[in-house]
Chains A and B, each alone.
Chain A
């Protein structure tokens, strides 16, 4: 939007104004009646959409070449690689039903607003009888030559003429001011404001003429033409941003922005943490995610300590564009918060003098059931054979009569056979039946399903010459892959701009979001339900007919359960499928964001800007566990005590409800003054200074209800914290759980800042910035509370030099910046502080406080110094171009624990102790290898290199076993000189040919002294380099033929290593978790030549197993190249017949497949030991009325 406006103003008035937003101010009065008519017709159109009723549109499609008939549409539709077309149609119908009602309501509200806003002005000339003369010339912006036959149209006057041979035109109009539209085939049509009596020079821009298009980046404080920037900005425009289909906005930045990397190895972090980094990590213990800024206001990406992050509330459909600030100069304006980079989001806004239009975007995404078989699991037959082996070895002999142990079903069967209660044949038959079972089959069938995400979004824009507004309504409805899980989000976003006077512009933005994430309170996912990874692989969740089965995983022996409490206790049986709906974890998030700002322009070029933003976020999490669940019944039984006469329940018999409510707010107050001046055509100066104040408060209240009745809301009183007999005293006593809690935090920040840029002759640019941040960092002397941050930068547009005119390069710019940003960490304190615990001590039942900090008066904020060298270029008429950047990022004074004398009572003290050094390249190349009338091919290559090393750190322990990695453990190695995420392993000497036990190295010799190997210094480990990708990026191609566009994106991550999971004797003996590698184990001498999997031994040397699972034998190259997605879209200009300004059908397929992978074990290192994201297919519709 910003881009378009700017282009127009440039072309028409040759006004290379620095204040781009000024383009918004050009407006003409339009007739009130007409506006209302348009509105009415819009409403009608929505109502009659399905009947195909149409309105004559004055806006003709720009390309008329394709006269699409319905046949063609149907053909394309079938050809589009969608799998679920029928689903879509069904859902669209449903969507329209859902949308129609809120739409009409919104429009009605808006209608009245417009009526108020569009009161006719005195000089609107409605009744004027005078005639005015209008004249001018139209030339081509590319060649500067006059253009003949350009069609000129003045809608208000119903006048239409064409330009003469020399491009001139002359008209007589009734109104002194108005709107005039120029159109010509192959050129972009332009509608501009005129004032009679001034001769107009109009430059028309060819359709494919991109050079003059000015990309405008936003720092959140200012909008800067990218041409005039010295820092590192990445701009993601609306089209690129909307290429992907997703519920969240974060994933849309993946694979398209150089320097942004994402991590997916920890499935639990999904939706909970932002999970993307800009140019690697720049801190150790402070928040490591980029700062989010929405319309100039920092947005907390997470308010609650657990569960879903607030960033999920951001509706991607509300976003107009995104700017990513990567270096110190770009991000300097954000000072202490910018150390991890900044993501600046600009939301959609209305325009002045814009015809009312409604934009509808809806899509449906279907995600395959996850591939549980990608998670390695031991073959059931191997597992049962091992159980038989253990049984024969007498491993369980001591436990058959132990009331506190419940042996697993196959062991009980074997015991029955041994006791003669079952024949050997019966046992074998049953074991053979069980051996055919794979626990994953039932999980896939009953616990997982195809996820379906529906997204509906309607946006209404309208603008008069004084007021414009934009209202968006979005509904997301996700049925997640777990049968118990769903997500729902409702967004209402409005933005209104009011031109109060010619000099004062007011802006009011309000966003309200309500989201609801539903899950079962008791985990049901694979490897989480029941005993988690210790579930036996022959577990059956349902019988052949699909009836839920009880699963025998109770803690106590059957005999004990049958007799304890003489049958008066609650049922001990566990039936996972039956109780799926008996527990619920509901996380609601209600978020209100109000952003009110005013801009006042003083005549001499000074612009004053004031902003106040308020955010209120209420995030209650309710965890309900019904009496239907095994764990609730277990808890109640365990807190019961009994004698012959009665059972006394410690906890009331009934449900349990735990409510945690996060209540958070932010206030943001800002005042800035901006000055820009141009003189002598050679000098261009812009200055900005301002003051920010921000307060962020949050509190948490936790309350618990026992004996809760969900229908009546009633509950029973419980003496929380009271000591009662546990399991009738069999387990001694325990305290009735007291989970009530209260927390309250407050952070305050005050900042002053200023920046300036000076451009000479449009080619030499210097910039500088300064910011001082201070916060209520506890106990620090007032003078030390703040930290200054600064940056300087310079750029040289070589292509503007006269000597460069003849070069093949159309554009060449070199730029460099250096400066500081920082990281906030207010959790530390300089005073000796104690923290009063929100719960009572579990042993004494007393409230207490812990000493958290010894006195530590030298604390200060972390700083990140970044040097950035960049080059932007384009050639061949801007068909090829790109930018290359090199950066050197030094994070200093990182707050990290450092060792102190343990006799002080502390092992470490959190001080500004560590330094990191990151280096890298960000390269983005674009090209248009092919462009003809019908065909267009666009190609984008993103390449990033990032390596973060530790230059100074405190190592908590320099013992090998504390720094070695396990499979996908992603342990950091803050060891001076190493990568921050180095993959360290024990050196591997192969298996012992004698007995197949693992061997490592000790002091250079082959050794089996596992304890000594584990206890050796960290320097004895093998360093395989980085665990995080060093090289990553994507290669995106898009081919357009007429109205059909097909694009695909290939993503790659290279240069890193991982440890693959394997069979560990120790893990199997302790947790029963196996791995198919069991079949590759050493079994006889000679096997050591072909396998590294140690022999299975029982009893087992646990230390040997631990050495093996962290050994160099298991290291694999993690590099891979994936076809990430395919997008296909079809514009249907023919739909304009039915009143659509634009009509587009699109389909999108995600996670298509792997093109190349370094490891041949079938492991997707991007997703660690969890299953990879399944194939997702989307079909969507986007139209504008």
Chain B
């Protein structure tokens, strides 16, 4: 029996020595430290995280819709109520800041993984993921910039506040607000790099491809007022990807007539939910709804008649086929950028061609389409900008457009909100166009608030 006890002791000693290896096993098979190319692909496939949750406060503040006093009063989210009336109140919720930064974090993580896989550099999967990560990062930076920064003026951009440009996958680095100029430089650099790596054709829906990156660049340059570049990239985009949907093929009677991932979609993105803009809450701006021509199919596709109050309209035209709004990039937007940029750089014919190509697909085929023939650059620009608003309703563009167009006295607009007896106004070029950062962000990141 002595043997037995010795055996026992030996066993104990053995088990002690093998302890470290024993504890190296991971507790959950799905808990993975991402490090392979395949991991990068899986991370880039996280559609819900990467393509969703984009900020929407700006769009809540636009003139495309209004709320009755009852509906405004029924809103629960204080931040969203405040943004409707551009109240200069402290904002609490940090989610609309954090969500795009999650996309940025994942992109950085993927870039970090890929950075260590140099031997795979030439594989298609490597390039697709590398390009996608850069694209996602640029897209998220861009939407944050459009909301929280003032309009881009080349002369002052270096002095204006941008956003923190987080470029690696750690969480320890302190956030610093770059200048507006640096911010846009980063966005442009990322999009340009993405365009190099992204494939022309991307079979997985929801992921960007080469034309998406060109469209992103066109958007960025349009915001910066660099119409030359905006024109070039819009054109590059359309050369690769020019299809438009024929609205005659859509059924206006459907609850949500526009299919998801349709041929026009260059990149799909959804905002965080915006209660004021919900399908049965937001009443559309009557001026906007009334501005569609009789045979313009968009009115039937985008809007739903509402009976209470009578004669009002709800929005139903999301490119995501559902109640969720769509803030992604589509070809129709690129046509509009091309038309605007061409018009502003005096390529009238090209501008006319672009705008007519688009509008023709929106026109009832039973009735002959009357093309736009305006030759005066100023008047044509006005037409193009009106069409831009009519086409891109609730698509996350209006706030950025109002912001940049306010720089031009011709297009300045004072926004007015009426809630009961209370009237709120947002004058052109108001500092409020650079939306307040959440106080939570200010406190935790220790970065400066926008000038007030």
Chain A interface (Cβ < 8 Å from any Cβ of B): 397-398, 404, 501, 503-504, 600, 602, 608, 610, 669, 671, 691, 693, 729-733, 743-748, 750, 752, 774-779, 782, 785, 826-827, 829, 831-838, 841, 843-844, 846-852, 854-855, 899-907, 909, 957, 959, 961, 1011-1012, 1014-1015, 1099, 1101-1103, 1106
Which of A501, A731, A836, A1106 contacts B30 (CB under 8 A)? A836
Residues of B within 8 Å of A829, CB to CB, are 31
On whether the beta carbons of B170 and A855 are closer than 8 Å, the reply is: yes
Cα-based distance from A503 to B259 in the complex (angstroms) = 81
Q: Which among B1, B11, B78 is the interface contact of A504 at CB below 8 angstroms?
A: B1
Q: In the complex the two chains form, is B321's CB within 8 Å of A732's CB?
A: yes
Q: B residues 247-295 with Cβ under 8 Å of A?
A: 254-256, 259-260
- Of the candidate stretches B100-108, B179-187, B395-403, B411-419, the one touching chain A is B100-108
Q: How far is the CA of A854 from the CA of B174 in the complex (A)?
A: 15
Contact of B92 among A397, A907, A957, A1101 (CB under 8 A): A957
| Interfacial chain A residues near B169, Cβ < 8 Å | 832
Beta-carbon contact of B74 and A1103 below 8 Å: yes
Contacts of B8 in A (CB 8 A): 608, 610, 671
Q: What chain B residues lie within 8 Å of A905 (beta carbons)?
A: 98, 101-106, 166, 171
Chain B, Cβ-Cβ closest to A1066: B74
Q: What is the interface of chain B, defined by CB distance below 8 A to chain A? A: 1, 4-5, 8, 11-12, 15-16, 19-20, 22-34, 39, 42-43, 45-49, 70, 73-76, 78, 81, 92, 94-95, 97-98, 101-106, 109, 164, 166, 169-171, 174-175, 204-206, 254-256, 259-260, 307-308, 321-322, 438, 440-441, 444-447
Given contacts A608-B5, A732-B322, A851-B43, contact A748 B23 (CB under 8 A): yes
Q: A744-B30, A901-B175, A1101-B74 are in contact. List 17 more A-B contacts (CB 8 A).
A: A602-B5, A671-B8, A693-B22, A746-B28, A776-B24, A782-B23, A785-B23, A832-B34, A841-B45, A850-B49, A851-B105, A855-B171, A902-B438, A902-B444, A903-B164, A906-B171, A907-B98
Residues of B within 8 A of A852 (CB): 31
Residues on A with C-beta less than 8 A from B170 are: 855
7 pairs from A and B in contact (CB 8 Å cutoff)? A732-B254, A752-B16, A843-B47, A903-B98, A903-B164, A907-B98, A1011-B78
**Are the CB atoms of A834 and B164 closer together than 8 Å?**
no
Question: Given B15, B94, B321, which contacts A691 in the complex, CB threshold below 8 Å?
Answer: B15
**Interchain CA distance A1103-B8 in the complex, whole Å:** 69
- In this complex, which of A733, A775, A844, A903 has the most chain B Cβ atoms within 10 angstroms of its Cβ? A903
Q: Which residues of chain A have C-beta atoms less than 8 A from B45's C-beta? A: 841, 844, 846-849
Q: Are A846 and B204 touching (Cβ within 8 A)?
A: yes
Closest residue of A by beta carbon distance from B22: A748
- In the bound assembly, the distance between CA atoms of A398 and B169 in angstroms comes to 52
In the bound complex, CA of A904 to CA of B100 (Å): 10
Contact between B321 and A849 (Cβ–Cβ < 8 Å)? no
Shortest distance from the beta carbon of B5 to any chain A beta carbon, whole Å = 5
Across the interface, which residues of B come within 8 angstroms of A746, CB to CB? 25-29
A903 touches B97 (CB 8 A): yes
* CB-based contact B26/A851 at 8 Å: no
Chain A residues near B78 (CB-CB < 8 A): 959, 1011-1012, 1014-1015
Q: Are B27 and A778 in contact (CB under 8 A)?
A: yes
Q: Is the CB of A843 within 8 A of B92?
A: no
Contact A1011 B75 (CB under 8 A): yes
Instruction: List the B side residues contacting A848 at CB < 8 Å.
Output: 42-43, 45-47
**A398→B307 CA distance, assembly (Å):** 7
Nearest-neighbor residue (CB-CB) of B322 within chain A: A732
Cβ-defined contact, A503 with B1, below 8 A: yes
Which of chain A's residues have a CB closer than 8 A to the CB of B321? 732-733
Chain B residues whose CB sits within 8 angstroms of the CB of A907 once the complex forms: 94-95, 98
Contacts of A733 in B (CB 8 A): 259-260, 321
Known: A501-B1, A849-B42. A843 touches B106 (CB 8 A): no
Q: Chain A residues near B175 (CB, 8 Å)?
A: 901, 903-904
Residues of B within 8 A of A957 (CB): 92
Cβ of A671 and Cβ of B12 under 8 Å apart?
A: yes
Chain B contacts of A1015 at CB under 8 A?
78, 92
Closest to A848 in B: B45
Write the nearest CB–CB distance from A773 to chain B, whole angstroms. 11
Which of B39, B256, B444 is within 8 Å of A849, CB to CB? B39
Given the known interface contacts A774-B19, A841-B47, the answer about A835 and B30 at a Cβ–Cβ threshold of 8 Å is yes
Residues of B within 8 A of A775 (CB): 23
Per the bound structure, the CA–CA distance linking A669 and B11 in Å amounts to 10
Nearest-neighbor residue (CB-CB) of A786 within chain B: B23
Across-interface contacts of B11 in A (CB, < 8 A): 671
- CA A732 to CA B4, docked complex, whole Å: 72
With A850-B49, A957-B92 known as contacts, the answer to whether A600 contacts B5 (CB < 8 A) is yes
Q: Which residues of chain B come closer than 8 Å to A732, judged between CB atoms?
A: 254, 256, 259-260, 321-322
Question: Among the listed A504, A610, A777, A836, which residue makes an inter-chain contact with B42, where contact means beta carbons less than 8 Å apart?
Answer: A836
Which one of A671, A826, A901, A961 has the greatest number of beta carbons of chain B within 10 Å? A901
Let me know if A838 and B30 touch, CB within 8 A. yes
Residues of the B chain whose Cβ atoms lie less than 8 Å from the Cβ of A833: 31-34
Pair B27/A826 contact, Cβ less than 8 Å: yes
Distance, CA A909 to CA B444, complexed state (A)? 13
Query: How far, in angstroms, from A501 to B2 measured CA to CA in the complex?
Result: 13
Q: A900-B444, A1099-B70 are in contact. Are A847 and B27 (CB under 8 A)?
A: no
* Contact A776–B75 (Cβ < 8 Å): no
Most buried by B among A841, A900, A1103: A841
Q: List the B side residues contacting A731 at CB < 8 Å.
A: 255
B426 to chain A, nearest CB (A): 21
B407 CB, min distance to chain A CBs, angstroms: 28
Interface centre among B23, B46, B48 (most CB of A within 10 A): B23
Complex contacts, A831 vs chain B, CB 8 Å? 33
Task: Let me know if A745 and B29 touch, CB within 8 A.
Answer: yes
Q: Closest residue of chain A to B19, judged by CB? A: A750
**Of B29, B30, B445, which is within 8 A of A902 by CB?**
B445
Give Cα distance in the complex from A398 to B104, angstroms. Answer: 45
Q: Is the CB of B30 within 8 A of A743?
A: yes
Taking the nearest CB of chain A, how far is it from the CB of B151, in angstroms?
23
B429 → A minimal CB distance (Å) = 27
CA distance A851 to B31 in the complex (A): 10
What is the CA–CA distance of A879 and B207 in the complex, to the nearest angstrom? 80
- Contacting residue for B307 out of A397, A691, A744, A779, CB 8 A: A397
CB–CB A849/B46 < 8 A: yes
Contacts of A851 in B (CB 8 A): 34, 43, 46, 49, 102, 105-106, 109
- Closest residue to A1099 on the B side, CB-wise? B70
CB-CB under 8 A from A602, the residues of chain B are 5
A903 in contact with B166 (CB, 8 Å): yes
- Specify which chain A residues have a CB less than 8 angstroms from the CB of B20 in the assembled complex: 782
A1101 partner residues in chain B, CB cutoff 8 A: 73-74
- Bound state CA distance, A1102 and B174, in angstroms? 41
**Chain B, residue nearest A961 (CB):** B76
User: Do the beta carbons of A904 and B30 come within 8 Å of each other?
Assistant: no
Bound together, the chains give a CA A900 to CA B173 distance in angstroms of 12
Contact yes or no, B29 A744, CB < 8 A: yes
Q: Assess the B440–A902 pair: CB atoms within 8 A.
A: yes
Q: How far is the CA of A732 from the CA of B322 in the complex (A)?
A: 9
- Complex CA gap A876/B27 in Å reads 57
Q: Say yes or no: A834 contacts B32, CB within 8 Å.
A: yes
Q: Which of B22, B30, B101 has the most chain A CB atoms closer than 10 A to its own CB?
A: B30
B106 to chain A, nearest CB (A): 5
Residue ID in chain A nearest B43 by CB atoms: A849
Chain A residue with Cβ nearest B50:
A848
Contacts of A404 in B (CB 8 A): 255
- Please tell me which one of the listed residues A748, A752, A841 contacts residue B48 in the complex, with CB atoms under 8 A apart: A841
Q: How far is the CA of A1102 from the CA of B1 in the complex (A)?
A: 79
- Complex Cα distance, B308 from A97, in Å, reads 72
By the criterion CB–CB under 8 Å, are A906 and B102 in contact? Answer: yes
Contacting pair A843 B444 (CB below 8 A): no
A600 touching B27 by the CB < 8 A rule?
Answer: no
Tell whether, in the assembled complex, residue A902 and residue B94 are in contact, meaning their CB atoms are under 8 Å apart. Answer: yes
Q: How far is the CB of A781 from chain B (nearest CB, A)?
A: 11
Given contacts A776-B26, A906-B105, contact A693 B15 (CB under 8 A): yes
